[in-house]
A and B are shown apart, each in its own frame.
Chain A
Amino acid sequence: MRNDEDLRPSPETLLRVAQAEEEKERAKLKIFLGYAPGVGKTYAMLEAAQLRVRDGRDVAAAYVESHGRSETDLLLEGLEQIAKKGIDYQGVSLPEMDIDAVLARHPQIALVDELAHTNAPGSRHEKRWQDVEELLAAGIDVYTTVNIQHFESLNDLVAQITGVTVRETVPDRLLDLAVEIRLVDIPPEDLLQRLKEGKVYLPKRAAMAADKFFKPGNLMALRELSLRRAASRVDDQMRAYMESRSIEGPWHVAEKLLVCISGSPFSEKLIRITRRLADEMKAPWHTVYIETPGVGKEVRENRERVWRDLRLAESLGAQVGTLTATQVAQALIDYAHKNNITKIVVGKPAKARWREFLRQPLVDQVIRISGSIDVYVVSIDPGGEKAKVTAAAPAPRKEVPWGGYLKAFLLVMTTSLVCEPARHYLAPTNLVMMYLLAVVLAATRLGRRPAILTAFLGVLAFDFFFVPPRFTFAVTDTEYFITFAALFIVGVVISTLVSRSRERAEAIREREQQTSSLYYLTRELSASTGLDGILSALLKNIEESLNAKVAVLLPEENRLKVLQESEELRLDIKEMAVADWAFRNGQPAGRGTDTLVSASLLHLPLQTTGDTFGVLAVRLQDEVEYHSPLSRRLLQAFVSQAAFAIERVRLVQQAEEAQLMHARETLERALLNSISHDLRTPLVSITGALGALRDQESILEEDTRRDLMDAAWEEAARLNRFVANLLDMTRLESGALKLKRNPADVEDVVGCALAPLEPQLAKRKLVVSIPPGLPLVAMDQILMTQVLVNLIDNALKYSPPEAPIEVSARVDDTVLTLEVADRGPGVPESDLGRVFEKFYRIPVPEGAGGTGLGLSICKGVVDAHGGAIRAQNREGGGLLVRVTIPLRSNDKGV
């Protein structure tokens, strides 16, 4: 019994619904699904399109083929058609959808006929459904048509029913992607009638198969298939609806399926069966390939096939993985436990009984250790498929180790020669040991087959040379047959074991190399702080570990630019375009992928979950490498490591920028506050005083009037000073202020600084000490005068009226030192460094009225002279500011 709490939709359910709703916001795919050519899919699609046009939607036919049927042509009228693109292939121009034109036109709805179509070689994508995916990604709704037999998971079933293999397939996920599926259905009798009337268009090459295909039985089966598929889709939607409303129903427990493939010819079938099972159970499913080191050589031969199977599984919606293990069954079960798999699908092998006797079949092993996991054993009918499959498998590379066989022969001859003299001292059975030794030697050095040959030759040689009667193959003592058999069997077993362990070691070494190269890359990446370091580490490691040529492209001003590349690798315009596509779509492209396959390089986006940073273009050693899951996985690992490193650098950069921005904002706020404060405060006194004088002049005492006027006058002067400071600061910071260095008389500079301060200085004690005979010093006299004015002004402001102010100048060997000292309160030690910052004010009562700019202007000027300015507290109280300006070589004494 559930309580109310439980009946609420779970968060995950709501999330799924939300995602589905969000998807609705995105571009919609509508599929017109039929069960055979001629049921009227294109017609139905065009009808729907006309309705949309009437609704005022922007519809364009991206690719519609009427095949000259008048009803269809009629419907096409009034629809905008985007011109097709002719692609030259072997001298023939094949009309294809011009995807760039469609993207540029960007209608609300694009009509794309024949979803399963294979594009002409040289097109951007191999398949039209990939074009459709790109249109959807660009936010264009797509109406498309397809027949049921083109769907990947039903492919073999249809072949079984009709006996016609359909080569053009579409991944099932497109069916899942579709927001709406319109089933276009007519009874098979009507279809056959239309066929007779010649109303069904068939491509020429399909015409021959048509008789075989258009049989009432076939059509009925196909119709049922499409109806079922569409119904299950409705079922899905119903289920989703019920779940989102917490309507209880017969929910499936969460199932998870796993299928293990071996690169055998039957793997493909296993995958399709599992997909159908998974579909029926609404369960996610995994496909794993378990690589056993012992069969390393065969793996290499099978690589292409394994890779194709894995791609197939992936396109059917499986999560795929590859593992390396010696014990296939154990590894499979481990994987299943780790991923909460509930059911494992394995094929029932059609092997001879005697082989089962030698080695327990995988099925039995799995069943024995599967525990709570269900095991589905699927029978595979090898008949008929065998021929096809062997044709499809790539011809294994035969490398005949003639040298090995020759060496095996020599080895046996040598052993016989060694045994010859030993024959007198050793029993024949011990001579056998010598031959065994030769077999072990051959197994470790020459490989399996030469070792077996060694065993065989050894038996013959032993028989010929040492078993009486000697120098014949005849045997008098039949007991020797046991010796022969034992020698041969032991030889074979040893050679198998040794060579297997050798191959295992090789596989491990290969793995180890890859792991370590990844490790080195990671280490180098974490050590490099800049983009350049990351890129060159990436380049170097890929070059070394895959023996490949690499280029890294990053965007600069919206265009990809090659930042680093291997020698001998130049990217032409075409490769750049492919790289650009990979970058914009965040998907691999070029050689070894499904997209833009005619490129000569493989282009991988440098991608993290959030962002695409650039593209890596690789030229691998040979064709096999492009498809090998191992190299691809290693490349992927490299690329994502590099992408993360780039992201890290970017984030650090952004953080720094943000910090800088924050600091600038704080400064700007301080500036604004300070400016408004410093501009307004004097204005208060000025307007106050002027107001009083204007309105109440007659009643004011003479003294009061005088005071008011003095106050207004002083404040106006202060305001003027502040504006001058602000202007100086702005000029300093904008770099508009250029130093005019001329030889200057230090005494004159001091005099010029004192002149404007005379009113304040009149009542103060000032001690100026300048030794006579100072040389002229190159400086900007006006700016340095300003520095002294500011320093002396500060000294006047911050020290008591009775305390003296000291100004001194001296020239040592290479430095002019100017000092201004007062007997004021000084500056807290901790703030000594900050007094030259903008808007720093010594914490004293308001009355002092500094602008907070004076000292920072001083610092700006002194810095521009290449000098230094420091503040220090004096012994006995007060502040000393010291300015040092380095002399220039041509400052001469006078």
Chain B
Amino acid sequence: MSPNKTDSSIPRLLLVDDEAAVLRFLKSILSNGEYTLYQAENGHAALAAAATVRPDLIMLDLGLPDLDGVEVIKRIREWSQVPIIVLSVREAEDEKVKAFDAGADDYLTKPFGARELFARIKVALKRSLQEAPEPVFCVGELTVDLVKRRVAVRGEEVHLSPTEYELLRLMVSHAGRVLTHSQILKRIWGVTYVEQQNVLRVNIRNLRQKIEADPSRPQYITTEPGVGYRLKSE
């Protein structure tokens, strides 16, 4: 742990990785004064730091020498909702799903660009800093008014079925984050539907037909192949 700065208004980032080169790279691109950086080289150190430092965001590698990253997520989630971005070389979809289901907020496959990383950090921090969602969600030409239950594209109102609206509302409340298939199915259709992915696919398709300009190149609801969906937040 090496706190660079102690100003409480500056977001505290906990970097967890056992590769010195990766830590060095992360520290060099993130030490621009915007964040206070803490680091941990293994799972237990990460858990300890999460409790003592109380970071605003954790960036976690899955392949740690002592504990598996997914296990670390689960243990943190037992007492904290701090956003967790997974940085991993594991690109298999079931790995991603495991991380998301354990409670990860985002997942970046190594190697990644700095710009991508900054964007993800920003989204995650935004969500953690303002807990209560805005009553009106706007991205691009899409407007979702959660109070009036109205959805509009380019100012024109779009009529959604109750299920489609619930689906969209769920995604709005997790905008910028990936929702796995099972998370969505559980929340909207109930536990018994967890295996019924077709239902979800059909509803997503219908939703896209209504809100996307070109459903084959969706702008708002993007697919994380094999993992789930993400609503763009900006």
Binding site for B on A (CB under 8 A): 713, 716, 720, 724, 740, 742-745, 747-748, 750-752, 754-755, 768, 770, 776, 781-782, 785, 894
The answer for the CA separation of A742 and B94 in the assembled complex, in Å, is 14
- Tell whether, in the assembled complex, residue B217 and residue A745 are in contact, meaning their CB atoms are under 8 Å apart: no
Shortest CB-to-CB span from A775 to chain B, Å, is 10
Closest B residue to A754 by beta carbon equals B217
Chain A CB within 8 A of B202 CB: yes
The answer for the CA separation of A782 and B94 in the assembled complex, in Å, is 11
- Tell whether, in the assembled complex, residue A720 and residue B111 are in contact, meaning their CB atoms are under 8 Å apart: yes
- Tell whether, in the assembled complex, residue B215 and residue A751 are in contact, meaning their CB atoms are under 8 Å apart: yes
- Tell whether, in the assembled complex, residue A747 and residue B223 are in contact, meaning their CB atoms are under 8 Å apart: no
- Tell whether, in the assembled complex, residue B223 and residue A752 are in contact, meaning their CB atoms are under 8 Å apart: yes
The answer for the CA separation of A742 and B111 in the assembled complex, in Å, is 29
Chain A CB within 8 A of B222 CB: yes
Residues of B within 8 A of A747 (CB): 205, 208, 215-216
- Tell whether, in the assembled complex, residue B201 and residue A776 are in contact, meaning their CB atoms are under 8 Å apart: yes
- Tell whether, in the assembled complex, residue A751 and residue B202 are in contact, meaning their CB atoms are under 8 Å apart: no
The answer for the CA separation of A752 and B218 in the assembled complex, in Å, is 9
Shortest CB-to-CB span from A644 to chain B, Å, is 55
The answer for the CA separation of A452 and B218 in the assembled complex, in Å, is 115
Residues of A within 8 A of B197 (CB): 742-743
Closest A residue to B205 by beta carbon equals A745
- 16 interchain pairs (CB within 8 A)? A740-B226, A743-B197, A744-B201, A745-B204, A747-B205, A748-B204, A748-B223, A751-B215, A754-B217, A768-B214, A770-B216, A776-B198, A776-B202, A782-B93, A782-B225, A894-B202
Residues of A within 8 A of B215 (CB): 747, 751
The answer for the CA separation of A724 and B197 in the assembled complex, in Å, is 27
- Tell whether, in the assembled complex, residue A751 and residue B217 are in contact, meaning their CB atoms are under 8 Å apart: yes
Residues of B within 8 A of A894 (CB): 202
- Tell whether, in the assembled complex, residue A755 and residue B222 are in contact, meaning their CB atoms are under 8 Å apart: yes
Chain A CB within 8 A of B155 CB: no
Chain A CB within 8 A of B113 CB: yes
The answer for the CA separation of A894 and B198 in the assembled complex, in Å, is 10
Choice from B91, B93, B201 contacting A748 with Cβ under 8 Å: B201
The answer for the CA separation of A743 and B205 in the assembled complex, in Å, is 13
The answer for the CA separation of A360 and B180 in the assembled complex, in Å, is 111
The answer for the CA separation of A116 and B208 in the assembled complex, in Å, is 101
- Tell whether, in the assembled complex, residue B218 and residue A751 are in contact, meaning their CB atoms are under 8 Å apart: yes
Choice from A724, A742, A768 contacting B217 with Cβ under 8 Å: A768
- Tell whether, in the assembled complex, residue B201 and residue A751 are in contact, meaning their CB atoms are under 8 Å apart: no
Closest A residue to B94 by beta carbon equals A740
Residues of B within 8 A of A781 (CB): 225-226
Shortest CB-to-CB span from B65 to chain A, Å, is 23
Choice from A713, A748, A768, A782 contacting B205 with Cβ under 8 Å: A748
Known A742-B197, A743-B201, A781-B226; contact A751-B111, beta-carbon cutoff 8 A: no
User: Can you list, as one digit per residue, whether each of B79-119 has a CB less than 8 Å from chain A (1) or not (0)?
Assistant: 00000000000010100000000000000000101000000
User: Can you list, as one digit per residue, whether each of B191-234 has a CB less than 8 Å from chain A (1) or not (0)?
Assistant: 00000011001101100100000111110001101100000000
Q: Name the interface residues of B106-137: CB closer than 8 Å to any CB of A.
A: 111, 113
Residues of B within 8 A of A745 (CB): 201-202, 204-205
Binding site for A on B (CB under 8 A): 91, 93, 111, 113, 197-198, 201-202, 204-205, 208, 214-218, 222-223, 225-226
Shortest CB-to-CB span from B182 to chain A, Å, is 13
The answer for the CA separation of A785 and B222 in the assembled complex, in Å, is 14
Closest A residue to B227 by beta carbon equals A782
- Tell whether, in the assembled complex, residue B225 and residue A752 are in contact, meaning their CB atoms are under 8 Å apart: yes
Closest B residue to A713 by beta carbon equals B113
Closest A residue to B112 by beta carbon equals A720
The answer for the CA separation of A412 and B216 in the assembled complex, in Å, is 113
Residues of B within 8 A of A720 (CB): 111
Choice from A724, A751, A776 contacting B223 with Cβ under 8 Å: A751
| Interface-centre pick from B93, B111, B205 (highest chain A CB count, 10 A) | B205
- Tell whether, in the assembled complex, residue A751 and residue B204 are in contact, meaning their CB atoms are under 8 Å apart: no
Shortest CB-to-CB span from A777 to chain B, Å, is 11
| Interface-centre pick from A716, A747, A750 (highest chain B CB count, 10 A) | A747
Closest B residue to A731 by beta carbon equals B92
Closest B residue to A781 by beta carbon equals B225
Shortest CB-to-CB span from B202 to chain A, Å, is 6
Residues of A within 8 A of B204 (CB): 745, 748
The answer for the CA separation of A776 and B206 in the assembled complex, in Å, is 13
The answer for the CA separation of A785 and B225 in the assembled complex, in Å, is 8
The answer for the CA separation of A790 and B222 in the assembled complex, in Å, is 20
- Tell whether, in the assembled complex, residue B201 and residue A716 are in contact, meaning their CB atoms are under 8 Å apart: no
Residues of B within 8 A of A716 (CB): 111
- Tell whether, in the assembled complex, residue B226 and residue A782 are in contact, meaning their CB atoms are under 8 Å apart: yes
The answer for the CA separation of A894 and B205 in the assembled complex, in Å, is 11
| Interface-centre pick from B91, B225, B226 (highest chain A CB count, 10 A) | B225
The answer for the CA separation of A356 and B8 in the assembled complex, in Å, is 138
Shortest CB-to-CB span from A474 to chain B, Å, is 124
Residues of A within 8 A of B226 (CB): 740, 781-782
The answer for the CA separation of A781 and B226 in the assembled complex, in Å, is 7
Shortest CB-to-CB span from A28 to chain B, Å, is 66
Shortest CB-to-CB span from A774 to chain B, Å, is 10
Residues of B within 8 A of A724 (CB): 91
| Additional A-B contact list (15), CB under 8 Å, known A713-B113, A743-B198, A781-B226 | A716-B111, A743-B197, A747-B208, A748-B201, A750-B216, A751-B215, A751-B223, A752-B223, A754-B216, A754-B217, A755-B222, A768-B217, A770-B216, A781-B225, A782-B93
Shortest CB-to-CB span from A837 to chain B, Å, is 26
Residues of B within 8 A of A748 (CB): 201, 204-205, 223
Residues of A within 8 A of B222 (CB): 751, 755
Choice from B93, B111, B198, B216 contacting A768 with Cβ under 8 Å: B216
Shortest CB-to-CB span from B176 to chain A, Å, is 16
The answer for the CA separation of A752 and B223 in the assembled complex, in Å, is 6
Residues of A within 8 A of B198 (CB): 743, 776
Closest A residue to B224 by beta carbon equals A752
Shortest CB-to-CB span from B223 to chain A, Å, is 5
Shortest CB-to-CB span from A710 to chain B, Å, is 12
- Tell whether, in the assembled complex, residue A751 and residue B113 are in contact, meaning their CB atoms are under 8 Å apart: no
Closest B residue to A740 by beta carbon equals B226
Residues of A within 8 A of B218 (CB): 751
The answer for the CA separation of A751 and B225 in the assembled complex, in Å, is 10
The answer for the CA separation of A752 and B222 in the assembled complex, in Å, is 8
| Interface-centre pick from A748, A776, A781 (highest chain B CB count, 10 A) | A748
The answer for the CA separation of A189 and B215 in the assembled complex, in Å, is 123
Shortest CB-to-CB span from A734 to chain B, Å, is 15
- Tell whether, in the assembled complex, residue B216 and residue A751 are in contact, meaning their CB atoms are under 8 Å apart: yes
The answer for the CA separation of A747 and B218 in the assembled complex, in Å, is 10
Closest A residue to B214 by beta carbon equals A768
The answer for the CA separation of A724 and B109 in the assembled complex, in Å, is 12
Closest B residue to A770 by beta carbon equals B216
Residues of A within 8 A of B91 (CB): 724
Closest B residue to A785 by beta carbon equals B225
Residues of B within 8 A of A744 (CB): 201
Residues of A within 8 A of B93 (CB): 782
Residues of B within 8 A of A770 (CB): 216
The 10 closest A-B pairs by CB, nearest first: A782-B226, A768-B216, A782-B225, A743-B198, A752-B223, A745-B201, A752-B225, A745-B205, A750-B216, A785-B225
The answer for the CA separation of A724 and B110 in the assembled complex, in Å, is 11
Closest B residue to A727 by beta carbon equals B91
Residues of A within 8 A of B214 (CB): 768
Shortest CB-to-CB span from B5 to chain A, Å, is 28
Closest A residue to B198 by beta carbon equals A743
The answer for the CA separation of A141 and B31 in the assembled complex, in Å, is 84
Shortest CB-to-CB span from A743 to chain B, Å, is 5
Shortest CB-to-CB span from A494 to chain B, Å, is 99
Residues of B within 8 A of A752 (CB): 223, 225
Shortest CB-to-CB span from B224 to chain A, Å, is 9
The answer for the CA separation of A755 and B216 in the assembled complex, in Å, is 10
Shortest CB-to-CB span from A784 to chain B, Å, is 9
| Interface-centre pick from A744, A750, A751, A754 (highest chain B CB count, 10 A) | A751
The answer for the CA separation of A110 and B113 in the assembled complex, in Å, is 79
The answer for the CA separation of A742 and B199 in the assembled complex, in Å, is 12
| Interface-centre pick from B91, B202, B223 (highest chain A CB count, 10 A) | B223
